[in-house]
Structure 1
């Protein structure tokens, strides 16, 4: 299936004590370019995420954003610094004895003092973290690829319709081309008749000139090649996959043949057809620029 180079995918899940969010978006680019934004302590995941995305994406400028946060209380351990607590109690009771005041010190009072509690985060296993992140990233990537496929299908349909119109225009140009030669022969004969007036006109000379003109304006080869290109376009779409570069090259060939026909034509009707032909090919080219 043909895929667009633009797309977006997002997945957010809570797994293994973490709140994980992965966002993927892409725009057109000649090659595969990957940029990743992760929390500083999880920078080691960037290469793994790049490998995951590149396994399914071959072209485009990809931006991946990873948000990863431990759910409060899931990976922490609360401990009491007994030495600090004992120091507070000893200091306060020393003051109580000196000042001869009532000892009403309670556990709640001690708990309010700074640095009594130690909040310790559990040691993380990088492999386990990656397994969790990869699940969320895979879901975001699936949504991302689905969007690119849907957009690619619409582009392929549009390009196919325009290629069909190109075929129709080629048929019309092929019909008009001999008429252009015949019209040239008639104009040449009328001009010579006017110049020579009553003198005998050399029919052989007229035929020779008409033949030379016909050779100059003949578009048979260009017509055959354009039809061949249309068949190649259909075959590329049928094959699917990352076909953007092939299509880009093929549309250049479409444009080359159209320009050659345009340089040969001198008839106004053919010129109008060539203008429309080149317009359709340009629209095809614009769409092809978006295909992976």
Structure 2
């Protein structure tokens, strides 16, 4: 299965003949509906609809259609109705203008302070008469299905790009883990010898005699305990395991966003531990490089469904 991003955009239009003619027209004027769907990342599925009054009865059907295909994301659906004629603005008929003028005179007779109608008011009040009635029950759902498939295709393309980027980061993290592996026993041995040498120096300053065997055993014990505390072999093993699981999920595809987000947190935790336990500058640099890559992955994983 492909990996889907939660970021995408799609739009489409559909035309239909009106069931009643527009004023001063010789026949039914075609109407056009424009539909667009856009989505961004979100923890859950959040659907928002911006529909004209004529299309609000179809919102439950649209919600059911989108919920069946989308699992996560903040999704906004916008629709607009307009005449497919040459002029997008309504053309008020003389009869309508006379009626509006008579209504204005009647209202101002009772309310002298009422402001007169503006051109914008006339255009707005003319829209209901200028907009023909259409049956959008079938056309709207067909248009929504087409737009939804375009959105899924866009989210799939973006998901493929994200998966490719994440796999590239995984390869870099594997290389850093490989570089850190040989350093672990070397750092442990260096710290053990350094600890023992400091113990020797301290004992020599006390009486100038050779290090007693009991004191030497104690030094070895303390050095070994310290070496265990700075050993990061376990962290490197867990890092490699998490990287394998992330690659498996990206290859499998589907709804993997939440699991990837959890694994990214685990990667970051192991990289932090690697840096805090590091007793060598090389391991510190590797830990910093790991955390930079993991943070970049975290930002992208949050966009995966």
Report TM bin, short chain: 0.7 to 0.9
Q: Which residue of 1 aligns with 2:272?
A: 259
Residues of 2 paired with 1:232 and 1:138: CA distance?
A: 35
Q: Which residue of 1 aligns with 2:23?
A: none
SS at match of 2:38: strand
- For structure 2, the residue ranges without an aligned partner over 5 or more in a row are 18-29, 86-128
Residues of 2 paired with 1:121 and 1:266: CA distance?
A: 76
TM-score by length of 1: 0.77
- Deviations 1:82-119, CA, capped at 9 Å, x for gaps: xxxxxxxxxxxxxxxxxxxxxxxxxxxxxxxxxxxxx8
Q: Which residue of 2 aligns with 1:3?
A: 4
In the alignment, is residue 147 of structure 1 matched against residue 154 of structure 2? yes
- Deviations 1:265-285, CA, capped at 9 Å, x for gaps: 122111111111111111111
In the alignment, is residue 205 of structure 1 matched against residue 212 of structure 2? no
Q: Which residue of 2 aligns with 1:163?
A: 170
Q: Which residue of 1 aligns with 2:55?
A: 42
In the alignment, is residue 26 of structure 1 matched against residue 26 of structure 2? no
| RMSD (Å), alpha carbons | 2.1
In the alignment, is residue 185 of structure 1 matched against residue 192 of structure 2? yes
Deviation for aligned residue 1:180 = 1.2
Deviation for aligned residue 1:121 = 9.0
- Deviations 1:216-255, CA, capped at 9 Å, x for gaps: 0122222221111111111111221121111111111111
TM-score by length of 2: 0.74
- For structure 1, the residue ranges without an aligned partner over 5 or more in a row are 73-118
| Superposed counterparts of 1:67-86, under 5 Å | 67-69=80-82
Residues of 2 paired with 1:205 and 1:12: CA distance?
A: 82
Residues of 2 paired with 1:155 and 1:192: CA distance?
A: 53
In the alignment, is residue 227 of structure 1 matched against residue 240 of structure 2? yes
Q: 1:22 to 1:120 in 2, by over 3 A?
A: closer
Q: 1:121 to 1:20 in 2, by over 3 A?
A: closer
How many residues are aligned here? 243
Confirm or deny: 8 A CA contact 2:16 2:134 kept in the other structure.
no
Q: Which residue of 2 aligns with 1:216?
A: 229
Confirm or deny: 8 A CA contact 1:226 1:257 kept in the other structure.
yes
Residues of 1 paired with 2:175 and 2:46: CA distance?
A: 39
In the alignment, is residue 138 of structure 1 matched against residue 136 of structure 2? no
Residues of 2 paired with 1:70 and 1:120: CA distance?
A: 9
Q: 1:215 to 1:124 in 2, by over 3 A?
A: same
Q: Which residue of 1 aligns with 2:126?
A: none
Q: Which residue of 2 aligns with 1:97?
A: none
Q: 1:181 to 1:42 in 2, by over 3 A?
A: same
In the alignment, is residue 273 of structure 1 matched against residue 283 of structure 2? no
Q: Which residue of 2 aligns with 1:92?
A: none
Residues of 1 paired with 2:31 and 2:60: CA distance?
A: 21
Q: Which residue of 2 aligns with 1:79?
A: none
